[in-house]
């Protein structure tokens, strides 16, 4: 066992252990590290924001693109929510954000998530796998007719859709476990190999 | 009324349409307008980043005031916030001191918090993951096969696990997820149209 | 309380300790279980291998601290493959801390003699998610005038011939979901559908299931899901890294969780059967 002499490694290992201490019970060490993490994350976001602002707005503005004063003013208006009496002004930049986002997302969704997916389901139904995918897509789509209550065979078909979705969620669960266990492996490697020098 | 209600609605409408139309109809002036709107949106989004930070500072300053400066956790949070910003802006994002905060405080803590779920999943798998009906049984069986198929030891225990995992992921899962995706996309398009048409004003705080 | 009730109500500390041991023991004493390469990862690798030498690729670092154990190894393995084929790399990031991960992963390029500004560029963070990616796809200089290191983007030789998404032979997103950043659906819309730029995905395990639909439809040319995919990619490129090292612990943890599931259900079923056999009582 060769314990690391690097102060950074010690800090990293001790912060991880403080977080893991919550598995026993909530304690001051866990809360302290949690708050430090929130402070650091917020600080990193602000630093990244300042650098991005310089790149996308300030530098072009200083070079003569004075029109950019308008989005900067709109951005400042976002903070009007903290000022009593004029807090309604923050709706203007929010409307800009929401309108543009809705437009950008919508225009691509039609092609990528509807037409693209439907055509992939229906073209070349020449093997069992393709037929199963077709059946699964149709049945699980049928499950989402929530505004009208059909009966009889339709209800059975909707149940079939549920079964396909349960299989999909089971696959998602299996992969989620993989992802979370990987995070734990990373921390254990850091603590056991890098900090304590075991193995 | 104009500024509170109609101006935001008009802005959402104009922005939304200006971004959608040039995607389908190639008009140079509309494409230029769309590009400008998206660039402006990026600038406004940078300010939105700061909203969260401002809110955190406000909340914790109130905590400190209420506790007469004795809330040690709020002091630690605000101190770390200030130190990170000072180091990042003064020394730069590539400086050793800023990277120290990122590599030895931010990343280990974030990873450890994410990885807590691995332990909670283990407990939940035993206590709550029960095959009480057909749907739960399907979910459970598919989940277990995928978990075994994804690791070398699993394929030694159940040699067909990798092949079954590929089939579950590539066929059963696609069938189920595709229906969810198409239905979700239709709902998403409906909500987007409502936002652009001014029928969903709550998304930007109007009545 | 009988044995079945006791089994169903085991203290959670028992599970935490078993889980910790299942990860810790193989970490300290690795066995070296062999990793077989799956068709999906091979398909992704082969697609990247088919890219023209000297072309440019765009890599999106779209994840936060917590997912670097899955996605950093994928990025590093991919960079080894790209550098061996002299393919130039431009990175962008939709999370504030992601450029630092990009900087860490890009360090492997030094061993191939890659020069910053000529062979690779880290443009840094962009705010605004999909809308900003859409603007970048049409005119990158409207979003980035400075790169992550503070250089003027116009002065970087690599960026001189980049006028939009169409100039990249491939885009890749290393993604952990859309919250506060750009997700996989957004990348499909803004690279594949808007500009016809082929896309591959590197995702955490959580996103793998939902994005298989894009791979099956051909909208996405390949996907790497989780640490296992990183290990397989490392095997294909011949550069063993942290992906492979973690597979033993991953194996033990997965098998343990499956055992928990089986045990929990066995205790439930046996408890129910016993309750039915008790005269005058039990489940109906």
Per residue in C129-154, pLDDT (tens digit) is 999 999 999 999 999 999 999 999 99
**At B174, is the secondary structure helix, strand, or coil?**
helix
The domain of B182 spans 131-196
Residue A13 is predicted with a pLDDT of: 96
Per residue in A7-34, pLDDT (tens digit) is 999 999 999 999 999 999 999 999 999 9
| Predicted TM-score of the model (pTM) | 0.92
* Nearest in space to B180 (alpha carbons), one of A108, C193, C216, C210: C210
Per residue in C221-254, pLDDT (tens digit) is 999 999 999 999 999 999 888 888 889 999 999 9
Is the complex ipTM higher than 0.95?
Answer: no
Kindly indicate the confidence band of residue C284, based on its pLDDT and cuts at 50, 70 and 90: very low
For residue A101, the chain C residues in CB contact (below 8 A) are: 129-131
Tokens of B96: 């050793």
Distance CA B11, CA B76 (A): 41
Q: In what order do the strands lie in the sheet with C88-93?
A: C120-125, C88-93, C56-62, C170-175, C199-203, C222-225
Q: Given an 8 Å threshold on Cβ–Cβ distance, is A79 in contact with B54?
A: yes
Query: What is the average pLDDT across A182-186?
Result: 92
Mutation target to probe the B interface, by most B beta carbons within 10 A, among A171, A184, A186 is A171
Distance CA B177, CA B170 (A): 11
What's the structural domain count of chain B? 1
* Nearest in space to A2 (alpha carbons), one of A187, A185, A192: A192
Q: Is residue B7 part of a domain?
A: no
Query: What is the average pLDDT across B138-166?
Result: 92
Residue C274 is predicted with a pLDDT of: 79
Per residue in A87-129, pLDDT (tens digit) is 889 999 999 999 999 999 998 899 899 999 999 888 778 889 9
Q: Is residue B146 part of a domain?
A: yes
Nearest-by-CA chain C residue for A120: C217
Nearest neighbour of A189 by CB, restricted to C27, C70, C216: C27
Distance from CA of C278 to the nearest CA of A (A): 34
Q: Given an 8 Å threshold on Cβ–Cβ distance, is B53 in contact with A105?
A: no
Asked if the model's pLDDT at residue C2 lies above 80, the reply is: no
Distance from CA of B177 to the nearest CA of A (A): 6
The more confident residue out of A37 and A161 is: A37
Kindly indicate the confidence band of residue B47, based on its pLDDT and cuts at 50, 70 and 90: very high
Nearest-by-CA chain B residue for C250: B151
Asked if the model's pLDDT at residue C208 lies above 80, the reply is: yes
Residue A156 is predicted with a pLDDT of: 79
Kindly indicate the confidence band of residue B192, based on its pLDDT and cuts at 50, 70 and 90: very high
Ranges of each domain in chain A = 1-64, 67-108
**Percent of chain C scoring above 70 in pLDDT:** 95
Distance from CA of B78 to the nearest CA of C (A): 19
Kindly indicate the confidence band of residue B126, based on its pLDDT and cuts at 50, 70 and 90: confident
Torsion angles phi and psi, residue C152, rounded to 5: -70, 120
Distance CA A77, CA B8 (A): 13
The more confident residue out of C92 and C32 is: C92
Chain C (98-157) residues lying within 8 Å, Cβ to Cβ, of chain A: 99, 124-127, 129-131, 134, 142-146, 148
Kindly indicate the confidence band of residue B142, based on its pLDDT and cuts at 50, 70 and 90: very high
Cα-based distances in Å from C18 to B116, C13, C32, C75 = 14, 9, 21, 32
Give the containing element (helix H, strand E) for C214. Answer: helix C205-217
The full DSSP string for chain A is ------HHHHHHHHHHHHHHGGGT---HHHHHHHHHHHHHHHHHHHHHHHHHHIIIIIHHHHTT-GGGHHHHHHHHHGGGGGSTTSGGGGHHHHHHHHHHHHHHHHHHHIIIIIIHHHHHHHS---SHHHHHHHHHHHHHHHHT--SS---THHHHHHHHHHHHHHHHHHHHHHHHHHHHHHHHHHHHIIIIIIIS---
Asked if the model's pLDDT at residue C51 lies above 90, the reply is: yes
**Percent of chain A scoring above 70 in pLDDT:** 97
Q: Given an 8 Å threshold on Cβ–Cβ distance, is A171 in contact with B169?
A: yes
Asked if the model's pLDDT at residue A64 lies above 50, the reply is: yes
Kindly indicate the confidence band of residue C279, based on its pLDDT and cuts at 50, 70 and 90: low
Q: Within an 8 Å CB–CB cutoff, is residue B92 touching chain A?
A: no
Asked if the model's pLDDT at residue A4 lies above 50, the reply is: yes
Kindly indicate the confidence band of residue C283, based on its pLDDT and cuts at 50, 70 and 90: very low
Among the residues of C218-246, which ranges form H helices? 226-237, 242-245
Q: Within an 8 Å CB–CB cutoff, is residue B50 touching chain A?
A: yes
Nearest neighbour of B16 by CB, restricted to A43, A103, A129: A103
Distance CA B20, CA B14 (A): 10
Query: What is the average pLDDT across C174-201?
Result: 92
Distance from CA of A42 to the nearest CA of C (A): 10
List of residues 6+ apart from C274 with CB closer than 8 A: C2, C4, C282
Q: Within an 8 Å CB–CB cutoff, is residue C183 touching chain A?
A: no
Nearest neighbour of A188 by CB, restricted to C27, C127, C192: C27
Q: Given an 8 Å threshold on Cβ–Cβ distance, is C126 in contact with B42?
A: yes
Cα-based distances in Å from B53 to A28, B57, B60 = 24, 6, 11
Q: Given an 8 Å threshold on Cβ–Cβ distance, is B147 in contact with A178?
A: yes
CATH code of the region C39-245: 3.40.50
Q: What residues does CATH 3.40.50 cover in chain C?
A: 39-245
Strands C170-175 and C199-203 turn out to be parallel
Mutation target to probe the B interface, by most B beta carbons within 10 A, among C69, C131, C205 is C131
Query: What is the average pLDDT across B165-181?
Result: 91
Q: Is residue B173 part of a domain?
A: yes
For residue B204, the chain A residues in CB contact (below 8 A) are: 91, 94-95, 97-98
* Nearest in space to A91 (alpha carbons), one of B43, B18, B3, B40: B3
Query: What is the average pLDDT across C182-208?
Result: 93
Residue C242 is predicted with a pLDDT of: 83
For residue A165, the chain B residues in CB contact (below 8 A) are: 176, 179-180
């Amino acid at each position: 066992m060769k314990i690391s002499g690097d102060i950074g490694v010690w800090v990293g290992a001790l912060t991880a252990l403080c977080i893991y201490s919550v598995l026993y019970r909530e304690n001051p060490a866990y809360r302290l590290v949690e708050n430090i993490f929130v402070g650091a994350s917020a600080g990193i976001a602000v630093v990244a924001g300042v650098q991005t602002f310089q790149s996308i707005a300030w530098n072009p503005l200083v070079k003569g693109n004075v029109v950019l004063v308008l989005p900067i003013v709109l951005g400042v208006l976002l903070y009007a929510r903290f000022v009593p009496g004029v807090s309604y002004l923050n709706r203007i930049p929010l409307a800009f954000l929401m309108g543009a986002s809705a437009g950008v997302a919508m225009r691509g969704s039609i092609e990528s998530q509807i037409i693209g997916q439907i055509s992939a389901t229906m073209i070349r139904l020449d093997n069992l796998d393709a037929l199963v995918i077709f059946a699964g897509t149709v049945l699980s789509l049928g499950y989402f007719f929530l505004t009208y209550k059909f009966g009889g065979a339709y209800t059975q078909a909707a149940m079939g859709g549920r079964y396909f979705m349960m299989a999909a969620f089971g696959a998602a669960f299996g992969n989620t476990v993989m992802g979370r266990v990987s995070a734990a492996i990373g921390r254990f490697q850091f603590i056991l190999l890098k900090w304590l020098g075991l193995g | 009324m104009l500024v509170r209600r109609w101006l935001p609605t008009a802005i959402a409408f104009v922005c939304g349409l200006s971004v959608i139309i040039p995607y389908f109809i190639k008009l140079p002036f509309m494409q230029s307008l769309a590009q400008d709107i998206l660039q402006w949106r990026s600038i406004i989004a940078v300010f939105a980043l700061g909203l969260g930070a401002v809110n955190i500072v406000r909340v914790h300053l109130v905590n400190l005031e209420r506790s007469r400066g004795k809330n040690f956790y709020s002091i630690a949070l605000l101190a770390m916030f200030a130190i990170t910003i000072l180091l990042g802006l003064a020394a730069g994002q590539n400086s050793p001191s800023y990277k120290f905060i990122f590599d030895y405080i931010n990343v280990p803590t974030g990873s450890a918090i994410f990885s807590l779920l691995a332990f909670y999943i283990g407990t939940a798998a035993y206590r709550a993951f029960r095959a009480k009906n057909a749907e739960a049984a399907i979910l459970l069986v598919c989940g277990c096969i995928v978990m075994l198929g994804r690791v070398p030891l699993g394929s030694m225990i159940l040699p067909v696990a990798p092949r079954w995992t590929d089939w579950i992921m590539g066929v059963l899962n696609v069938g189920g997820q595709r229906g969810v995706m198409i239905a979700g996309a239709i709902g998403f398009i409906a909500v987007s149209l409502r936002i652009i048409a001014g029928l969903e004003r709550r998304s930007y705080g109007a009545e | 309380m009988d044995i079945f009730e006791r089994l169903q109500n085991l203290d959670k500390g028992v599970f935490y300790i078993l889980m910790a041991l299942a990860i810790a023991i193989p970490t300290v004493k690795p066995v070296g279980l062999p990793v077989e390469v799956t068709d999906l990862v091979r398909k992704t690798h082969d697609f990247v291998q088919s890219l023209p030498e000297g072309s440019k690729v765009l890599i999106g670092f779209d994840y936060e601290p917590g997912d670097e154990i899955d996605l950093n190894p994928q990025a590093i393995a991919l960079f080894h493959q790209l550098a061996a084929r002299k393919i130039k790399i431009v990175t962008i990031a939709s999370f504030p801390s992601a450029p630092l991960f990009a900087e860490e992963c890009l360090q492997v390029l030094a061993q191939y003699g890659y020069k910053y500004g000529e062979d690779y560029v880290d443009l840094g963070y962009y705010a605004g998610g999909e809308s900003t990616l859409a603007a970048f796809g049409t005119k990158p200089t409207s979003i980035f005038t400075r790169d992550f290191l503070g250089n003027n983007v116009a002065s970087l030789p690599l960026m001189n011939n980049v006028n939009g998404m169409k100039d990249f032979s491939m885009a890749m997103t290393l993604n952990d979901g859309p919250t506060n950043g750009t997700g996989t659906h957004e990348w499909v819309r803004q690279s594949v559908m808007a500009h016809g730029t082929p896309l591959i995905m590197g995702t955490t395990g959580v996103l793998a299931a939902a994005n298989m639909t894009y791979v099956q439809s051909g909208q996405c040319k390949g996907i790497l899901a989780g640490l296992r995919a990183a290990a397989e990619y490392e095997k294909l490129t011949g550069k063993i890294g942290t992906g492979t090292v973690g597979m033993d612990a991953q194996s033990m943890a997965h098998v343990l969780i499956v055992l928990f599931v089986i045990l929990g259900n066995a205790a439930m079923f046996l408890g129910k059967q016993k309750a039915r056999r008790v005269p005058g009582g039990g489940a109906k």
